[in-house]
């Protein structure tokens, strides 16, 4: 593992141990107390307690059997604070390997697995007791300021939550279009950081007295585009991870933002808040159009298809007649009695500019029927099918035409058939 710490001038020594990989020493900012010698007017010295800002810290990097890579940081000045940093995804990967569960890893996540339900069940078993157990295990093996006599007197470390990150990774089935999709999400959700939106994401009331800046930050220069929103001292980040997945992360830097204590026993409550915020963010976000259409959907529309033993020609998207036909269908979308070929042909001729220039209709009756049936059979989405069914031609004389489903009440439907017969 790399041995460079965040502070400059850090010195490092390798430790030849089975699981301890690296030990680093550095000066870092911290609020601690230390003593210094001062002089009285008569020249005598006396100790004086002052607040220090850059005490020496010791980093111990460890490769644990169950949690994988982690580190523990000790401060060398009173009150000898310690910090444990671990990754739940690394713990999950270790558990899957020990249980012989096949999976495909992703940087700081799981890309795929043959049994995703089992993977989720194993992930849900990570709790405060396991985290506390691994911390106690390494305290017994590593040197730290509290000796055995101190521990017998009741001086010992108690874990609290300084920062907790909860991530939701959604792997895209078409990674090549994921970058375009996420850039569209960023473009159309620049107001996601407004107070009214944060109320929906965190399910908490926001007033003028709520501290913090409510803003939306988009980082695009030299990095993967990412969307950042802030709530008090916590934040939500969303980005396109490794070109394969959409990653949503909620980071809680102060548990009191949600009126919850910092004790490790409060981890289940924070977990519920973090994952709920990830899901609500996805519900609040919106897109004005679906930019995820791929080659398969485009081919399904432009190539001939057979549905219920009826063949439909392909819709040539660049054809003027197809555009005119789709425009005409929108005119009859809310017509409860349907429409006839003559109506479709007249409107299509007007859109094509042939109503007065051509001596005959732009298409025959059979061609009009096939043209209207084609969109319904090509539609890939149930909502599109329902919308096109409401706009299909209904002609009792033609048994091969596309008939509208009988969605009207029985009495009203019979009256409509009688009126249609009279008009015909």
For the chain, what are the domain ranges?
1-86+127-157, 160-292, 307-423
| Rounded average pLDDT over 98-108 | 90
Question: What DSSP element (H or E) covers 345?
Answer: helix 341-352
pLDDT > 70? residue 413: no
Most confidently predicted of 12-16, 251-255, 387-391? 251-255
Task: Note the pLDDT of residue 361.
Answer: 46
φ/ψ region of 205 (left if φ > 0, alpha if ψ in -120 to 50, else beta) reads beta
Q: How far is CA 91 from CA 65, 154, 266, 296, 301, in A?
A: 9, 31, 20, 38, 46
pLDDT > 70? residue 365: no
- 103, 112 Cβ separation under 8 angstroms: yes
Q: pLDDT (tens digit, 9 = 90+) per residue, 63-102?
A: 999 999 999 999 988 888 999 999 999 999 999 999 999 9
> Residue 60's pLDDT band (boundaries 50, 70, 90)?
very high
User: What average pLDDT does the chain have?
Assistant: 75
Distance (Å, rounded) from C-alpha 64 to C-alpha 56? 25
Measured in degrees and rounded to the nearest 5, phi and psi for residue 287 equal: -130, 140
Geometric angle at alpha carbon 89, from 86 and 90, rounded to 5°: 65
What percentage of the chain carries pLDDT values higher than 90?
26
The residue with greater pLDDT, 145 or 410, is 145
Task: Note the pLDDT of residue 156.
Answer: 87
- 118-132, 332-346, 371-385: range with lowest mean pLDDT: 371-385
Smallest CA-to-CA distance from 207 within 217, 216, 196, 191 is with: 196
Which residues are CB-contacts of 324 (< 8 A; sequence separation ≥ 6)? 347, 348, 351, 352
φ/ψ region of 258 (left if φ > 0, alpha if ψ in -120 to 50, else beta) reads alpha
- 71, 61 Cβ separation under 8 angstroms: yes
Q: pLDDT (tens digit, 9 = 90+) per residue, 370-407?
A: 555 555 555 544 444 444 444 343 333 334 433 444 44
Smallest CA-to-CA distance from 391 within 343, 322, 323 is with: 343
Task: Note the pLDDT of residue 364.
Answer: 57
Q: Which fold has domain 160-292?
A: 3.60.90
């Amino acid at each position: 593992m790399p041995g460079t710490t965040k502070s400059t001038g850090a010195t490092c020594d390798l430790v030849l141990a089975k699981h301890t990989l690296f030990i680093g020493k550095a000066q870092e900012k911290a609020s601690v107390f230390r003593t210094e010698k001062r002089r009285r007017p008569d020249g005598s010295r006396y100790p004086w307690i002052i607040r220090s800002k850059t005490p020496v810290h010791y980093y111990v990097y460890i490769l644990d059997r169950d949690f994988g890579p982690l580190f523990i940081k000790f401060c060398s000045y009173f009150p000898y604070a310690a910090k444990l940093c671990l990754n739940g995804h690394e713990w999950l990967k270790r558990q899957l390997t020990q249980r012989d569960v096949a999976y495909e890893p992703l940087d700081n996540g799981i890309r795929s697995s043959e049994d995703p339900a089992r993977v989720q069940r194993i992930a849900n078993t990570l709790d405060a007791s396991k985290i506390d157990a691994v911390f106690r295990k390494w305290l017994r093996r590593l040197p730290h300021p509290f000796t055995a006599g101190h521990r017998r007197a009741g001086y010992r470390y108690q874990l609290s939550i300084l920062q907790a990150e909860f991530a939701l990774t959604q792997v895209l089935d078409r990674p090549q279009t994921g970058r375009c999709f996420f850039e569209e999400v960023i473009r159309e959700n620049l107001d996601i950081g407004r107070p009214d939106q944060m109320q929906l994401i965190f399910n908490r009331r926001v007033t003028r007295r709520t501290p913090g800046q409510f803003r939306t930050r988009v980082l695009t220069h030299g990095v993967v585009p990412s969307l950042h929103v802030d709530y008090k001292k916590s934040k939500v980040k969303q980005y396109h991870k490794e070109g394969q997945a959409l990653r949503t992360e909620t980071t809680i830097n102060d548990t009191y933002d949600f009126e919850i204590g910092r004790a490790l026993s409060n981890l289940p409550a924070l977990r519920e808040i973090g994952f709920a915020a990830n899901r609500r963010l996805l519900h609040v976000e919106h897109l004005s159009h679906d930019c995820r259409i791929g080659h398969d959907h485009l081919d399904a529309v432009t190539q001939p298809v057979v549905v219920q033993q009826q063949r439909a020609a392909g819709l040539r998207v660049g054809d003027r007649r197809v555009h005119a036909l789709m425009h005409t269908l929108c005119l009859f979308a809310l017509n409860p009695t349907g429409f006839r070929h003559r109506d479709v042909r007249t409107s299509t001729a007007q859109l094509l500019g042939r109503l007065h220039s051509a001596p005959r209709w732009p298409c025959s009756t059979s061609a009009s029927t096939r043209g209207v049936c084609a969109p319904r059979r090509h539609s890939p989405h149930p909502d599109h099918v329902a919308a096109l069914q409401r706009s299909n031609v209904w002609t009792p004389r033609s048994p091969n035409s596309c008939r509208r489903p009988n969605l009207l009440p029985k009495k009203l439907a019979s009256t409509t058939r009688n009126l249609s017969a009279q008009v015909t």
